[in-house]
Chains A and B, each alone.
Chain A
Amino acid sequence: MDPVEAYLDQVARRLRGDAADARRLLAELESHLLDEVDAARAEGLDDAAARERALARIGSVRTVARAANGGTRDLLAALMTSAAGLAVVGFAAILTGTLVAELLGHVFSMHAFYGLPGDVNPAAAKVAGWLADQPSATNWHQAATLENADDTLLLRGGASLIGLIGSLVAYAWLRRRHRGLPIAVVGATAFGIVGLALVFGGVTGSYTAAEWGTGKWLTDGLVALTVAMAYAGTAARRALA
């Protein structure tokens, strides 16, 4: 393989950040190397020696890639930008799951979305609390369902809305200074695992002190899997580009 092309391939593999910036750098490096080879040939060097001198002058793959990627501080800033971007998507997914479950629960069955699994026997004090908070409920099962629906919408929905606004502000601020890293594979993996876990929770009727409700688990799981598929699509497009 042509040593100039091999060099450019190695630089390409080490570059982080925006694909357009990487393409531009590689085009400039290639043009530079070919100019350098032409100049060396004009001085009387043979082709192999001309290419060798051009590659020696342009700098090692590591040196050029490090200059392009920036130092540790740039890497940390890029990681923070990417983390803020993931947080935006995460909070938006939680809020979406909360609102969709609320809507579907009202349309189809609140019990299917927020009801306690049949084999759960909560403590008497907890049951008393639900009945006190939900005076319109005709029995404790209905009180548990309504309490779960209210808490999900107000507490989880409210917290995710605050988180979404906060992470959006942080992301906008960081993005103006640093580009994030390409993290589509990370997003697809993280949301995929969480989505599968949530769907498993829905299918098995899982119960924790803070989260229960088959429909709610499944809605959250499907939202997370949709986000994972969107990230996977982005990763595939980048890989094929």
Chain B
Amino acid sequence: MLLSVLDAGPAHGYEVSAELRRRSDGDFDLPEGTIYPALHRLEKAGLLSSTWDDSGTRRRRIYQLTAQGASALVEEKHGWQRFAASVNLVLGVA
């Protein structure tokens, strides 16, 4: 989900959490502080890159998708579509 939000363009953590809440219509009301460790892990895995942005009123870390992250996002989306299709078939709601 974090990769999907960042697929729209570089963003800092606050924007990512706000966008997650907006896209899920408030259903994904995660503790927002837990987004940062997740972003750090994705960066260590090479799926994101980040830099400090000091241009605004406060210092922010800006995250963006790497090429490896973009490929991983495509894989994850396909995987989710397959999984969701299988569950729908089982439930008979397709």
A67→B33 contact, CB < 8 A: yes
Cβ-neighbour of A67 out of B14, B38, B58 (below 8 A): B38
B9 contacts across to A, CB distance below 8 A: none
Contact A64 B14 (CB under 8 A): no
> Chain B: interface residue count, which band?
10 to 19
Any B CB within 8 A of the CB of A36 = yes
Q: Given A31-B12, A36-B14, are A24 and B34 also a contact pair (CB < 8 Å)? A: no
Write the A220-237 contact mask toward B (1 if CB under 8 angstroms, else 0).
Answer: 000000000000000000
- With A28-B13, A31-B14, A32-B13: A63-B33 Cβ-Cβ less than 8 Å: yes
Bound together, the chains give a CA A36 to CA B14 distance in angstroms of 8
Contact A58 B37 (CB under 8 A): no
**Are A31 and B58 within 8 A (Cβ)?**
yes
Give A contacts to B, CB under 8 Å. 11, 21, 24-25, 27-29, 31-32, 34-36, 57-60, 63-64, 67-68
Name B's A-contacting residues (CB within 8 A). 12-14, 17, 30-34, 36-38, 40, 58-61
A-B contact pairs, 15 of them (CB 8 A): A21-B40, A27-B59, A28-B61, A31-B58, A31-B59, A32-B13, A32-B14, A32-B33, A35-B14, A35-B58, A36-B14, A59-B30, A59-B33, A63-B33, A68-B36
Beyond contacts A21-B40, A25-B40, A28-B60: 5 other A-B pairs, Cβ-Cβ < 8 A, are A31-B12, A35-B14, A59-B34, A63-B33, A68-B40
